[in-house]
A and B are shown apart, each in its own frame.
Chain A
């Protein structure tokens, strides 16, 4: 029964065109970034950087490097946007459209309904990250030959990995990325449980994420970084570190699980006492 009800939520979610907005935008963005990277001095500069550090650029200018390069900012900026968009829709859009009243004329409990919707949102977030990784690699494959992974973040990270290890790290990063996307979806979901428009839930969630991002990047707040949500949302970046700081990943993972549980519990508390009217 619960699986049938989850299937319903997925039918509803993936039956809507706007659900695919994230997938389409990622495809377009990846294509644009990759084309600019391939046919501008950027790829040559990256090659020089590799060679200046003693690496063969032909080994590391690869689909893995290109996909990591393109997906980095998409994951930081666009992924929260599409996670929040779907999270805000899950409850608030149904309330706005009036279909929520139709559902709640049935004997399903509000807790179960919210749990089903949250799981559907989490599945969406995971699929979005999976698609981001796979399409990134496919696009990269059209421009570069297969090779190792080069990860560079000015002032913070410089790492090269053999193709096999690079692929494992790339896949792992996208798994943790999906946890981050689910968390933003969960924040937007929480706001959607209030009596607000779906757009308001999305904007509120994004505002908090961006505020956290801004504050985290203010140099004076460096000591406070672990208190910001985006610090933990970025746990996937740790997969490209050498060595991997598993302690830091575990801490962020633990905190994100707690935050997600809190968002969900808050949503349930608000939604359970709400009057659903036309």
Chain B
């Protein structure tokens, strides 16, 4: 549904997006994760033909955005971080105006979408009287009007209260389940991405540092938390005998390939070391993300400039 190849955007002397390759398959909820200023919004701007790439290609729904933006965006809906509308007009009029930039839209279709997002009964009120939650619904309605196949959501829960965030999350799930939409969700909120997406890409400093299924971010089979009475003795022996590859005091070890927790415990008992506890540590998206960012930062030059190449982790 989306294919980015070597996509680069340079503003002045600053590289906002650097040689980004990305593929969003049809039917996925794909998370684009990164801190503020990582390059997510610039990437989305290039997807929508709002920001012109310095180099590389952007293909949306089978059409190159820079060459045939009209065809590429025919079945695309988008929501941006802060829902902004013509405050002095009614919700219905806003929908009529925005829909017509894609195609003439019937009043019945507008009423249907307003009903779907939960705006029915308030669509004739001026937008200035809407709460933030209602604006978010209106944003969703305008994005759904063209009958999109692809929905691009740029920080859609920004500014919403916890109830609004929950509602938006449920709506995104419903859109995916009931309408079968492909959804690209850009966010810096790890929990949001973790709860919604099946696949993610992490962007840092304009570069992709991870791309793969969400499940891969949780798996960390080698990291084990080990609590023993003599940690130093235990780890030096295990290292020497090839049971583990590394140890991080006070209680973390990394199992060598092919070694199991059970056999490590048996060996420790044979050595006379008392094992108080041992658990395989499952990484959270947060720990995974922080580790990625930390690694990326370490590879950046100390005094600004463009970060050196960081090999992206590509999972099947």
Please list the residues of chain A having a beta carbon within 8 angstroms of any beta carbon in chain B: 1, 4-5, 8, 11-12, 15-17, 97-99, 101-109, 113, 273, 275-278
> Which residues from chain A contact B41 at a C-beta distance below 8 Å?
277-278
> Which residues from chain B contact A16 at a C-beta distance below 8 Å?
88
Which of A105, A109, A277 makes the CB contact (< 8 A) with B76?
A105
Which of B11, B52, B80, B98 makes the CB contact (< 8 A) with A106?
B98
Shortest distance between the CB of B302 and any CB in chain A (Å): 29
Shortest distance between the CB of B15 and any CB in chain A (Å): 14
Bound complex: CA of A130 vs CA of B152, how far in Å? 45
Once the chains bind, are B100 and A8 in contact (CB under 8 Å)?
Answer: yes
Bound complex: CA of A4 vs CA of B103, how far in Å? 10
Q: Given A8-B96, A105-B77, 18 more contacts at CB 8 Å?
A: A1-B103, A8-B97, A8-B101, A15-B93, A99-B84, A101-B50, A102-B98, A103-B101, A105-B48, A105-B50, A107-B69, A107-B101, A275-B11, A275-B51, A276-B45, A276-B50, A277-B51, A278-B82
Max count, chain B CB within 10 A of own CB: residue among A101, A102, A113, A273:
A102
Shortest distance between the CB of B125 and any CB in chain A (Å): 14
Shortest distance between the CB of A102 and any CB in chain B (Å): 6
Once the chains bind, are B102 and A102 in contact (CB under 8 Å)?
Answer: no
Is B245 among interface residues, defined by CB-CB distance under 8 A? no
Shortest distance between the CB of A6 and any CB in chain B (Å): 10
Shortest distance between the CB of A268 and any CB in chain B (Å): 15
Once the chains bind, are A277 and B84 in contact (CB under 8 Å)?
Answer: no
> Which residues from chain B contact A99 at a C-beta distance below 8 Å?
84-86
Bound complex: CA of A102 vs CA of B50, how far in Å? 10
For the A-B complex, the count of residue pairs with Cβ-Cβ distances under 8 Å equals: 86
Shortest distance between the CB of A211 and any CB in chain B (Å): 31
Shortest distance between the CB of A12 and any CB in chain B (Å): 6
Is B89 among interface residues, defined by CB-CB distance under 8 A? yes
Once the chains bind, are B101 and A108 in contact (CB under 8 Å)?
Answer: yes
Once the chains bind, are A275 and B97 in contact (CB under 8 Å)?
Answer: no
Which of A1, A4, A5, A106 makes the CB contact (< 8 A) with B73?
A106
Once the chains bind, are A275 and B52 in contact (CB under 8 Å)?
Answer: yes
Once the chains bind, are A17 and B88 in contact (CB under 8 Å)?
Answer: yes
Is B142 among interface residues, defined by CB-CB distance under 8 A? yes
Bound complex: CA of A97 vs CA of B125, how far in Å? 20
Bound complex: CA of A16 vs CA of B87, how far in Å? 9
> Which residues from chain B contact A277 at a C-beta distance below 8 Å?
41-42, 45, 50-51
Instruction: Give the total of B residues in contact with A, Cβ under 8 Å.
Output: 38
Is B221 among interface residues, defined by CB-CB distance under 8 A? no
Bound complex: CA of A276 vs CA of B44, how far in Å? 11
Bound complex: CA of A30 vs CA of B50, how far in Å? 45
Once the chains bind, are B81 and A278 in contact (CB under 8 Å)?
Answer: yes
Which chain B residue lies CB-closest to A17? B88
Shortest distance between the CB of B167 and any CB in chain A (Å): 21
Is B242 among interface residues, defined by CB-CB distance under 8 A? no
Once the chains bind, are B86 and A12 in contact (CB under 8 Å)?
Answer: yes
Which of A1, A8, A101, A109 makes the CB contact (< 8 A) with B80?
A101
Shortest distance between the CB of B126 and any CB in chain A (Å): 10
Once the chains bind, are B45 and A12 in contact (CB under 8 Å)?
Answer: no
Known contacts: A4-B100, A102-B98, A277-B45. The answer to whether A107 contacts B93 by CB under 8 A is no
Bound complex: CA of A36 vs CA of B287, how far in Å? 78
Bound complex: CA of A102 vs CA of B85, how far in Å? 8
Known contacts: A276-B45, A276-B50. The answer to whether A1 contacts B81 by CB under 8 A is no
Once the chains bind, are A107 and B73 in contact (CB under 8 Å)?
Answer: yes
Once the chains bind, are B51 and A12 in contact (CB under 8 Å)?
Answer: no
> Which residues from chain A contact B185 at a C-beta distance below 8 Å?
none
Once the chains bind, are A5 and B52 in contact (CB under 8 Å)?
Answer: no
Once the chains bind, are A102 and B142 in contact (CB under 8 Å)?
Answer: yes
Bound complex: CA of A97 vs CA of B80, how far in Å? 13
> Which residues from chain A contact B74 at a C-beta distance below 8 Å?
107
> Which residues from chain B contact A275 at a C-beta distance below 8 Å?
11, 45, 50-52
| 29 A/B residue pairs, CB under 8 Å, sorted by A | A1-B104, A4-B104, A5-B101, A8-B100, A11-B93, A12-B86, A12-B89, A15-B88, A15-B89, A17-B88, A101-B50, A101-B80, A102-B80, A102-B84, A102-B142, A103-B98, A104-B50, A105-B73, A105-B80, A106-B101, A107-B70, A107-B101, A275-B11, A275-B52, A277-B41, A277-B42, A277-B45, A277-B51, A278-B41
Bound complex: CA of A15 vs CA of B97, how far in Å? 12
Shortest distance between the CB of B246 and any CB in chain A (Å): 44
Is B49 among interface residues, defined by CB-CB distance under 8 A? yes
Is B201 among interface residues, defined by CB-CB distance under 8 A? no
Bound complex: CA of A105 vs CA of B52, how far in Å? 13
Bound complex: CA of A155 vs CA of B188, how far in Å? 71
Shortest distance between the CB of B88 and any CB in chain A (Å): 5
Shortest distance between the CB of B46 and any CB in chain A (Å): 9
Known contacts: A8-B100, A16-B88. The answer to whether A276 contacts B81 by CB under 8 A is no
